[in-house]
Amino acid sequence: MPKNNQKLKKTQRLSTHAKNVLINHAIFQFGGSLSVIFVNLYLWRLTNDLWVNGMYNLVALLAQAVTTFGIGKMSKRKGRTTIYRYGIFMTALFYLLLVIVQEAMVHYFLLFALLRGIAQGLYWVAYFTIVHEVSSNENRHRYLGLNQMIMSTANLVAPALAGIVIGLFDSLIGYVLVFGMAFVMFIFATIGSFRIKKESIQHRTYYMKYLSSIIKKKQGFGKALFGWLIIGFPQGIFMYVPAILIYSIFNSEEIVGILNAAFLAVTILASYVISRVAKTENTRQYLWIAAIGLIVSSIFITIEIAVWSVVIFMVTKNVFKPLQGNAYAAYYFQWLDHIPLRSAFRTESVVLRETLINCGRGLGIVVFMIFSNEINTQTVGFVILAVMMIQLLLPFLVNHNKMMEG
């Protein structure tokens, strides 16, 4: 077999800078995975009220969307690396305050939601801009696949560990210990962010005012933007409902953590396969397969909310979600090489992506809150099925020919 078939091409390899970004993101993700599902479960244990969980996540997402849209100009002038560090530090502050107030969080949950949303807005705008800078069209599927693998590995190990820690205590003190562990991880991530090379800022001008002109010239880009709203719809619901579903069946945080780890092992395997074989030109086929797979996954929980249906739903969903996410992200990043302003519009394109996906997540939560006040088959399963069916719109928004025109 020829040597160049045995190894990745030089253009597909990741730079040292890209590897440093991946490593620090893994630390950040591990801290988040330790705690994010258990923050929602903590609120559920304190209130037993889906409305409180819904409002917490909705306010956090709206705050994130507003922060994302508002921070773009500052990111362009101060640099993405600086905003990236602010985001990690504020996330650490969120968990420090949570450790301090503990069960009193229920009285301030909207303020905590605001802080979390602002911190997430800062982090993700900077991170996704950096991702485009450290990868290219030749290795972007590989970077995103490895990124998904690292995130999924953190998501696999951390919740299982957190579930075991929480399960050691009869009271809610286990949650506080987990939040303390998350705080430590985010402090490490803050320190690690100083290893990431600070970019030279060549384009300080903020070009968002030219968006309408860009869309008029490249209508396909406008459709690509709308796709993020569609992708966000189910993600908002999945921020908190699956953990509550599992807890409502087993009544055990340890099982929530272990099952979450098992489900994410499926995501790791799927992400690995995607990183090795996916091609940007096949994006539309991948999106059709993913949409159909996500719809099939949700059919099971319309039958009944039970161990078998929830397990099949989560496993199937975790096979097709990374296929959809990675394929669409690679397609969207490719657009940045074909729109007017090109790399000068990079920060703005990430701001738009994050704003729209969070608006979609928020809309998904609003729909869920309107139609589902409790965990039961009559509402939960059918609301999720309806949201999954919206994913069928996504392949129609992909058009590589439009990208190459003009």
CATH for 164: 1.20.1250.20
Quote the CA–CA distance of 199 and 96 in Å, as a whole number: 30
Q: Which residue has the tokens 């309408």?
A: 212
Q: Which residue has the tokens 């992200």?
A: 329
184 in any annotated domain: yes
Residue 47: burial class (beta carbons within 10 Å; 0-12, 13-18, 19+): middle
238 in any annotated domain: yes
2 in any annotated domain: no
Interacting residues of 126 by C-beta distance below 8 A, sequence separation 6+? 75, 80, 81, 83, 84, 87
Number of domains observed in the structure of the chain: 1
303 in any annotated domain: yes
Question: What is the residue range of 299's domain?
Answer: 14-404
305 in any annotated domain: yes
Q: Please report the pLDDT score of residue 109 as a whole number.
A: 92
Low-confidence residues in the chain, pLDDT < 50: 1-6
Q: What is the DSSP string of 40-97?
A: HHHHHHHH--HHHHHHHHHHHHHHHHHHHHHHHHHHHHH-HHHHHHHHHHHHHHHHHH
7 in any annotated domain: no
Q: What stretch of H or E contains 270?
A: helix 253-277
